[in-house]
Structure formats: C-alpha cells, structure tokens
Amino acid sequence: MNARREQVRAIGVEQIGPYTLLRLERGELDPGVPGQFFMLEAPGRVLPRPMSLCRAPRGELQFLIDPIGPGTRALCALAVGDAIHVFGPLGNGFDVGVRRPLLVAGGIGIAPMPYLAAVLGGAPAILGFRSDHHAAAAELVPRASVVVEPQLVTELLPDDPGDVLACGPEPMLEAVRARIPGAQLAWEAPMACGYGACYGCVVERDGRYVRLCVEGPILREAA
Amino acid sequence: MIPPILNASGCLDALTAPSVVERLDAFVTKTVTPLPREGNPPPRIAETESGMLNSIGLQNPGIDAFVRDNLPRLAALGVPIWVSVGGFSADDYALLCTRLDECAVVTTIELNLSCPNVEEAPETAAELVTAARDATGKPLYAKLSPATCDVAESARAVAAAGADGLSLVNTIRGLGFDRTSRQPVLARGAGGYSGPALRPIALACVDACAKAVELPILGMGGIASGHDVKDFLRAGASSVALGTILFSEPWAPDRLRSELEAAGAPRADEARGQVPESVA
C-alpha cells in the first residue's frame, strides 16, 4: 500500500452549480493516477467517504463533491482552515497509455475528468447533466461537448469513438459498455475502508464478487 | 501496561495492508469456511449515526485454498496468525480445526460461533467447541454474540467444553432503511451492527463473562481510543481487537498505543485479565 494518511487543511470551498469544489492542501500526499480515489474524513461521521481526485494543481488536491447524504454534506460544509484526514491514493486509476482518448461522464461522474483531461493533454470529452444548473461543472473540462437531459451522452458518441474512458451513473456506464467493448469504466459502490479490509464494495464480475477498491474502481471491459 | 492489540476478524486484509498488520500483536484472519463462499449480494455496508451495518456473508476462498494460497503469504508477515473459522455444523468446525491443526504457522483458532449474516449451525456453541476441541490442541478462542440473554452462561458452557479464551463480542444484528427507496439499506435486510454504538454492549458482556469464567478475554466492540482500551481492561479483557476504526484509520494501533503510553500505567484494578500466552 503506497497510500498515506495525513491531516490536511481546506484552503478553498467553492460552489460550482450544485456541487462543491473542495480544495485541500496536498501535504505529502501523492495525487496518484487519474481515477484513483482518496478516503476523506467526513466530520462527525463514523466512516470516511471515497472521492476521486478532480484536479491536482501544485500543492493542492481538489475534490468535486455532490452533497447527497450526511457524509458529503459534512464535507461540503467544511470551512477554509478546517482540517480533515485524507487517505490515498487508492485503487487502480485509468490506463492513460491510450492513443485516441475520449472522455465520457455523466453528472458527478465528471469528478475525475478534469485531472484525467490534464494528464492526457486535453482530450475531447462528452459530458451529460441533469440540468443547466448541474452543467455548470462542465467549466472544469476544456474542449467538452455538453448535453443536458433528456439528451444522453451516448447520443453524441461517434461511430468510431476511439479509447473511451467513462465515469457516471450505472445506467450510463451500462449503455457505454453495450456500445463500446473495451471501454474503461469507473464504477462506484458504498465503501467503508477503501483498502480491501471490509469487503463492502464488491461488484459482480464474471459471476464472482470482487472488491472495487482493490480490483477497481476502473474496470476495463473485455473487448 | 499496553495490552496486545489485534484486529477483529473480517476487519483487515493482511495481504492488501501488510503495513497495518506490522502494527498488530497478532493478525486475525477473515473467517474461513469449509467450502468457498461468494458472500452476500451488495449493498453490503451502510453507515448509521453511530456505527455501521454490514452483511458480507463470510466471503472467503474455503479452507483448501486458504491453507494452500493464503497461509504461506500470511506466514511471511512475521506476526502471530490467528485463523477465524466458521461453519454450519459441528462437523464443519471439526474439519476446519483438523486442517489447521497441521499448520504450524497458526498460533490460535478463533471459533466464529456468532456470525449474524449467515445461517447458524443447529448445535449449541458448547457442542461446536467440543467438536473443535477434539480436533486440535491449538488454543481455541470462542467468539460469542452479544445478543444472547445470558452471555455469562454461554461463557461457562464454552469454557466447560474446552475453550481456552473468549473473543467478546461479535457484531449485534441491526436493520436500517433507506428513506428514499424505503427499502432496507443492505441487500440482505438485517446485518451486523458495529462501531461506537456497540461499545457499551461489548463492555457489559466482557464484564459479565470475566466474572463468570477464568478464561482470558479478547475484548472488542467500537474501540477507537486509548480510553476505550482501558475500559475493556477494567471490564476484564486482557487483550483487545480493533474493528470498525480500522476502516477509517488503518494505522489506529499506533495512535492507541501512544494514547495508552501518555496515560501512564494503569492502577492494579484497571487490568483484571491476564495476558494470554498465544499473543504475548
């Protein structure tokens, strides 16, 4: 386990549409590979919350958070100067050694895309959102094509999409998987530990339960 | 005195986190069953206000693959290895203990007699301990449920059946609902409840059993600080195990030892238990 656990301070808490961009000091933490995640201490909660890294400017780790439950709301309620424990990077990130990347994301699935786009040198992206308000997050990804429901990201997929790297709600990932064998898909599951200890985050693969934090969260479909 | 600090079974994978295992006085494996088990469908975990629910369902490779593939890698870690075993009949426990009796690296066998997430064996805890006792000379720790009307009576029964120690306690059965879907938060419905909410329940069980039997007690249930460890020693435990805290804080054993050192030596009445040889 190369991951570290460190207490770091919030240096920015910014609203982007309904989401919060939480900017933390980097400390000695390694940003890892796009698609890897960190366990963020959620103040007042028993368990930390897994968040993929959104951006990694010098000296910072940034996370895009959708306040949908008690843990994410506690994280979005942090104030500049507050300190939380951060543990990571964890899991397996995207394979960025691809020739023709195309990023596809839906909703809060945009979270790992800014870092991924930066590492790939500005790959094209298709982003889908529930509303114009949510679509405000598209500003984090340059060169992105943006659709808002009822239009779906799969409607914008070209016939020859190249190497697709996708993150989003399960129906979107299933639709991408059906269209593009070999796509790299970022899945999510409730997670207690993030490092293989709890066996909570399993997903079924070929009839077996595998831990998403160990085998994933990026899973490449058999082409 | 800093007591031996272990992990609770099912709360740490030594092979994904060897740097955590190095901090422990002994490593307790996830429960092994005679046959491989895929475990329960997800969602398997959910947080509550003061704890967590889980229903993993004893996912494990089965005793054959465990002995062949996992044990050699665990042996290389250089810490004493406790193997937790679980079954669905007395014969299962006998089979598991017979297999492990041949494995020199295994220092202690913990009998999981109380998993809330799988069907129980029809025999009583004492009958299961008897079956295990006949199969091995290794130290046997009986892990009991806090959800019995008289845990001290269970302790006396497993002591009489030949248990060498008690692991107290397993999770207690709990249920939660998702307020949006109105469905249980875990796919299987009820699960095992752990974390801070379990601590007073566990302490009461340790206290009751310490007064009932002479066996060493491995205390666990919501331990998250040096103060919590001292409470378990006061109640009669001689060693402690960490569970849910390891999920949020993998290197918690280091912090707890520092807190215990900072607190200084306990008074004589703060440590009723004796240190078991198998972890000392």
Residues 23-52 of B with CB under 8 A from A: 30, 38-39, 42-48, 50-52
- For the segment B85-143, what is each residue's pLDDT rounded down to a tens digit? 999 999 999 999 999 999 999 999 999 998 777 777 888 999 999 999 999 999 999 99
A2 touches chain B (CB under 8 A): no
Chain-wide mean pLDDT for chain B? 94
B217 pLDDT above the threshold of 90: yes
Helix (H) or strand (E) holding A11: strand A4-16
Q: Backbone dihedral region of A155: left (phi > 0), alpha (psi from -120 to 50 degrees) or beta?
A: alpha
Chain A residues with beta carbon closer than 8 angstroms to that of B48? 46
So what's the architecture of A4-90 in CATH?
Beta Barrel (2.40)
Dist. CA B183–CA B206, nearest whole Å: 35
Residue ranges making up the domain that contains B227: 5-41+57-173+195-270
Looking at the predicted structure, is the pLDDT value of residue B203 above 90? yes
Rounded Cα–Cα distance for residues A123 and B217 (Å)? 59
Instruction: With respect to residue B218, please indicate whether it lies within any of the assigned structural domains.
Output: yes
Percent of chain B past pLDDT 90, that is, above it, reads: 88
Residue B48, in any domain of the structure: no
B262 occurs within a structural domain: yes
For residue B115, indicate whether it is catalytic: yes
pLDDT tens digits for B142-175?
A: 999 999 889 999 999 999 999 999 999 999 999 9
CB atoms within 10 A of CB A130: 14
Q: Could you say which of B15, B42, B250 has the minimum Cβ distance to residue A189?
A: B42
Residue B265 has pLDDT above 90, yes or no: no
Task: For A115-207, list the strands marked E by DSSP.
Answer: 125-129, 144-148, 163-167, 184-186, 202-205
Residue B31 in this model has a pLDDT that exceeds 60: yes
pLDDT at B276 over 50: yes
What is the reported pLDDT for A205?
A: 87
- Domain count for chain B, please give it: 1
Confidence of residue B280 (pLDDT cuts 50, 70, 90): very low
Q: Quick one: closest CA in B to A208, which residue?
A: B38
Comparing B39 with B121, the larger pLDDT belongs to B39
Report how far residue B223's alpha carbon sits from residue A6's, in angstroms, rounded to the nearest whole number: 21
What's the DSSP call for residue B195? S
Distance of CA B248 to CAs A85, B75, B151, Å? 9, 26, 30
- Residue pointed to by tokens 């306690």: B169
- C-alpha span between B22 and B156 (Å, rounded): 34
A87 interaction partners in chain B (CB closer than 8 Å): 250
Domain boundaries, chain A: 4-90
B251 touches chain A (CB under 8 A): yes
What pLDDT score was predicted for residue A220?
A: 86
Give the mean pLDDT of B241-256.
98
Q: How many CA atoms lie within 13 A of B77 on its CB side?
A: 28
Residue B80 domain-assigned (yes or no): yes
Instruction: State pTM to two decimals.
Output: 0.94
- Distance spanning both ends of chain B, measured CA to CA: 12
**B45: chain A residues, CB-CB within 8 Å:** 190-192, 198, 200-201
Does residue B201 lie in a domain region?
A: yes
Low-confidence ranges of chain A (pLDDT < 70): 1, 222-223
How is the beta sheet containing B172-174 ordered, strand by strand?
A: B45-48, B51-54, B191-194, B172-174
Tell me the chain A residues in contact with residue B20 when contact means C-beta distances shorter than 8 Å. 1
State the complex-level ipTM: 0.95
pLDDT at B153: 95
Rounded-to-integer distance, Cα A96 and Cα A140, Å: 19
CB-side exposure of A48: number of CA atoms within 13 Å?
Answer: 24
Which residue of B lies nearest to A7 if distances are taken between CA atoms? B249
